[in-house]
Amino acid sequence: MSFDIQKIRKDFPILSRKVNGYPLVYLDNAATSQKPQQVIDCIVDYYSNYNANIHRGVHTLSQEATDAYESARKKIQTHFNAKEAYEIIFTAGTTHGINLVANGFSEILKKGDEIIVSAMEHHSNIVPWQMLCEKTGAILKVIPMNEEGVLVFSEYEKLLSKKTKLVFVNHISNALGTINPIVEIIEKAHEVGAAVLVDGAQACSHIKPDLQRLDVDFYVTSAHKMCGPTGVGILYMKEEWGNKLPPYQGGGEMIAEVTFEKTTYAGLPHKFEAGTPNICGGIAFGAAIDYLNTIGFEAIEKHENELLKYATEKLLKIDGLKIYGTGPDKTSVVSFNIEGIHPYDIGAIVDKLGIAVRTGHHCAQPIMDFYKIPGTVRASFAFYNTLEEVDALVTAVKKAKMMLS
């Protein structure tokens, strides 16, 4: 299918609204993506026609809902090329998935074991591990990054040893857009027998990871960054890990048999899916993946790279503007500051001009500490953004600069 940007934009009702009297220019896609009509329709259809609890009712509605939910799981399995559908565990989102794994490892780690995280993690990928280390006596090590916002691979290799039990790294940095070399990171970790969890929250709207080829142990992501609804995501875990890790929460759905003496747990994936799940969310996640695949990830990548290149060139022409995250492999995120101006001030003024960007530390304070800055202005582009919108951003930033200096 050819990439028709105007046709694509028509799929997203929100893109035609105005903000503060200006057409909305939505450049906060790294925080959450907008939703196409196809996904909105799917949600309406679910609640209008076959809302029911799943996996237990024998009645028709429950069957239909169960079929739709499980077929979404299959869709997700196919999309990410997982070996089995039951290796896909529905979660409330990336953070939930990370905590589920961290909780499981609290039973496995011993004092003196080591876990490695990268210096460019989101807070949600730092805090659970700190808690885990406090609980188990394991030691947290950090892969440093360089000025370009790229991980220093040789330092990573030095950190690895027989003591390393786990490596956690994001696929793509939310604050900088850097794509991390996860293939090599996974390979090296496996050489010392460590497991790897990759946080794909920022990646999956831009690229299509092949989980079997990556040979990753755990992979987490959220639907809402991929044109799906909030409150749902997935945790992929290799079957062997699924059998090894203990359940996270007790409740309905995750049991095989319950007596007051003993409960036996259900198999994968239900062991990790206690309680009534976000049924509609799971189904709509499937619809979002269908939508993205109709456009095609190759076309998405090509268009987004064009936006990134154009925005980088245009923004750098503004005097005193500095971009953070300048590595060779990055997605369509431009994190920047203008000398002498606080990012918050820029964000407040461009918002008045209808432009949605993010300002602040982007839940990645260690990165801001590294650069010794309070935060950045972050424009993050999606496939439905246009070159004209980049122009609007650049004009707005220039206006802000004029007002503020």
- Rounded CA gap, 249 and 296, in Å? 37
Q: Which tokens go with 370?
A: 């590294």
Can residue 57 be called a binding residue for another protein (CB under 8 A)?
no
Of 33, 118, 359, 380, the one binding another protein by CB under 8 A: 359
Residue 348 CB, shortest distance to another protein, in Å, is 5
Of 256, 316, 348, 388, the one binding another protein by CB under 8 A: 348
Can residue 23 be called a binding residue for another protein (CB under 8 A)?
no
Pairing type for strands 358-360 and 376-380 reads antiparallel
Give how far Cα 57 sits from Cα of 42, 124, 188, 253, Å: 22, 36, 47, 12
Closest CA to 365 of 355, 354, 373, 357: 373
Can residue 78 be called a binding residue for another protein (CB under 8 A)?
no
By beta-carbon proximity to another protein, the closer residue of 19 and 140 is 19
Q: Which tokens go with 293?
A: 């695949």
Residue 352 CB, shortest distance to another protein, in Å, is 5
Number of H helices, E strands in the chain: 14, 17
Can residue 352 be called a binding residue for another protein (CB under 8 A)?
yes
Residue 44 CB, shortest distance to another protein, in Å, is 27
Residue 277 CB, shortest distance to another protein, in Å, is 28
Site for another protein in 360-389 (CB under 8 A): 360, 374-375
By beta-carbon proximity to another protein, the closer residue of 32 and 53 is 32
Closest CA to 292 of 221, 363, 199: 221
Assign 378 to helix, strand or coil.
strand
By beta-carbon proximity to another protein, the closer residue of 19 and 192 is 19
Assign 156 to helix, strand or coil.
helix
Can residue 339 be called a binding residue for another protein (CB under 8 A)?
no
Rounded to an integer, what is the distance from CA 403 to the centroid of its chain?
35
Q: What is the DSSP letter of 137?
A: -
Residue 404 CB, shortest distance to another protein, in Å, is 6
Can residue 344 be called a binding residue for another protein (CB under 8 A)?
yes
Is 363 marked active-site? yes
Size of the residue set binding another protein (CB under 8 A): 14
- Rounded CA gap, 373 and 361, in Å? 9
- Please give the residue ranges that form the binding site for another protein (CB under 8 A): 20, 341-342, 344-345, 348-349, 352, 359-360, 374-375, 403-404
Residues designated as active site: 363
